[in-house]
Amino acid sequence: MFQTLIAWLAVALLIVMIYPWTRVLLAQSAADDQRLLAYTLLPGLAIGALTLIMFWLGLLGIRYNAASVGLPYAALCLLGFWLWTRSVTVAPLTSSSHIRIPYHVLYLIPALLVAAAILFNAAYWPFSRDDTLGIYQPFAQMTADSRTLVPLTGADSLYRAYPMALPLAYAFTYILSGWENEYLARVVPALLSVGCLPAAYLIGRRLLPGRSGAQNLAGVLSALIIAFTPTFVRWASSGYVDLPMAYFWAMTVLFCLRVLERSAPVDALLAGICLGLAAWTKNAALVGVPLLMGALAWAVWRKRIRLSSALLSLIAFAAIAAPWYVRNLIGAGFLMPDTAWTDQAQRTLGNLVPFLIHPQDYGLAGWVLTAGLILALWQVVRAALAPKRSLTTTPSTENRVLSTEKQAASSEHRVLSTEYQVLSTEYCALLLWWIVPYFV
């Protein structure tokens, strides 16, 4: 019992210890939402760093225990603390204006209640979902028992070739607890899943230029739509890797938007780090590589960042994600396993408009999502067909082209269109992928 309590406290402490790194990094691109962004980034950096340390220890043949994992992590955190205390450029974080406005807090209460329910549900029940019981938990148990990485078995590796970020995190909670503490293990992905809510808020707020009140409203609506999506609430505490990957994906999008807006090299670096952690969490995140490259190329072309900053972002991504997939290629002969999910990725109407075809998963939020995507596509086409001078009027043009237009007819239309504008490019690619094969 005492060791279990220590394990809970240790996990909380390990997450908090990475905080100086958020201060050091974000101080290089100060904005009015820094405090919330720092707290949102905190669990992702902590869990990502901890599991990557375990991965490299496994490659080096060093057995896992509290000291072998905790000491390198503590050294990393101490380095961040040293940089934080000695740097004269680190300014106090500023908080978003909505935090000081009571009615905006009231709007966010439903999302906060959903987040609290997700965390409570994660800590109250053991693992119960199929993939968690059949894939992630057994690998975590094998890792905790052997104190090293689960070995690949050649072409038969299949699920052993899945990214091991969360199974390694589960295994570490087992090692700290001295038993298979599934309750603590479930809290780890639940924290990342809940992080999707503030990430959605920050993206919505960032996408809408103009008054802070309208930005806050866009952010609140973004978070509420996610919170009221049935599939989000259903799976956030399941122990699956999908929503933790979505959290890192959302943070990647957020930092790409900051690159276009603020031209800070550190935002490009953080975009690469977050996408790398997404690919370290689930291999489906690799679809984001060309999108990140496109965003960075656009930023370089528009002289938002230097080419060196874009290359550093891609190097950060590769440094985090590539070693795992290189290991798969060497030990199993493939980057990703060809599992049952591959066969289900068919060109069907259901896969084209999933938000409408699966009302049990998306509910009313699915209609809002689809409407936002359609309006986003229309905005992109409209901007592309507009006279050239309308694309070069102000320095913030890129945000209008990628997200919304300041000349939208009403605030309501602007809010609706900006919620999912960030998905418009990906959705265009999906449309082409689905339609083109029938004409060639």
- Looking at the structure, tell me whether residues 243 and 377 fall in a common domain: no
Domains identified in the chain, total number:
2
pLDDT averaged over every residue in the chain: 84
- Looking at the structure, tell me whether residues 127 and 255 fall in a common domain: yes
pLDDT at 419 over 80: no
Q: Are 229 and 371 in contact (CB under 8 A)?
A: no
- Looking at the structure, tell me whether residues 327 and 372 fall in a common domain: no
- Looking at the structure, tell me whether residues 282 and 375 fall in a common domain: no
- Looking at the structure, tell me whether residues 409 and 307 fall in a common domain: no
Mean pLDDT of 188-207: 94
| Boundary residue ending a domain (335, 358, 376) | 335
Task: Identify the pLDDT of residue 139.
Answer: 96
Close Cβ partners of 129 (under 8 Å, ≥ 6 residues apart): 235, 238, 239, 240
Task: Identify the pLDDT of residue 104.
Answer: 66
Q: Tens of pLDDT along 357-373? A: 888 888 888 888 888 88
* Cα–Cα nearest to 222, from 198, 240, 238, 242: 198
- Kindly state whether residue 344 falls inside one of the protein's structural domains: no
Range with the lowest mean pLDDT among 51-55, 90-94, 276-280?
Answer: 90-94
- Kindly state whether residue 341 falls inside one of the protein's structural domains: no
pLDDT at 45 over 70: yes
Range with the lowest mean pLDDT among 27-31, 53-57, 169-173, 294-298?
Answer: 27-31
| Boundary residue ending a domain (335, 363, 380) | 335
- Looking at the structure, tell me whether residues 319 and 356 fall in a common domain: no
* Confidence tier at 436 by pLDDT (50, 70, 90): very low
- Looking at the structure, tell me whether residues 287 and 385 fall in a common domain: no
Task: Identify the pLDDT of residue 259.
Answer: 92
- Kindly state whether residue 340 falls inside one of the protein's structural domains: no
* Confidence tier at 423 by pLDDT (50, 70, 90): very low
- Kindly state whether residue 169 falls inside one of the protein's structural domains: yes
Task: Identify the pLDDT of residue 210.
Answer: 65
Task: Identify the pLDDT of residue 361.
Answer: 86
pTM: 0.84
pLDDT at 251 over 80: yes
- Kindly state whether residue 343 falls inside one of the protein's structural domains: no
Q: Tens of pLDDT along 63-118? A: 999 999 999 999 999 999 999 988 745 455 555 444 454 456 677 889 999 999 99
- Looking at the structure, tell me whether residues 202 and 310 fall in a common domain: yes
- Looking at the structure, tell me whether residues 331 and 353 fall in a common domain: no
Q: What's the domain range around 391?
A: 349-439
pLDDT at 418 over 80: no
Q: What span, in angstroms and rounded, lies between the C-alpha atoms of 191 and 215?
A: 25
- Looking at the structure, tell me whether residues 266 and 363 fall in a common domain: no
Give 439's DSSP letter.
G
Q: Are 96 and 35 in contact (CB under 8 A)?
A: yes
Mean pLDDT of 299-315: 94
